[in-house]
Amino acid sequence: MKMRKKSDLPEKTCVVCGLPFVWRKKWLKDWEQVKYCSVRCRNGK
């Protein structure tokens, strides 16, 4: 994967806090299932 600008990465909105978050390399295989921006939001659902 080549380098991209942060502004070119896909973005989603967290279902708990409503803040936008961008794609991370650790989510490469399961980006479609990611719903939360952080562990804190996932635990506070």
pTM confidence score: 0.73
Whose tokens are 């659902």? That residue is 45
Note the pLDDT of residue 32: 93
Neighbours of 37 (CB within 10 A): 19
Note the pLDDT of residue 1: 60
Is 39 in contact with 19 (CB distance < 8 Å)?
Answer: no
Q: Which two structure tokens, joined as six digits, stand for 9? A: 């990465």
Note the pLDDT of residue 19: 94
Domain ranges for the chain, please list them. 6-43
Note the pLDDT of residue 8: 82
pLDDT digits 0-9 by tens, 2-42: 777 877 889 999 999 999 999 999 998 999 999 999 999 99
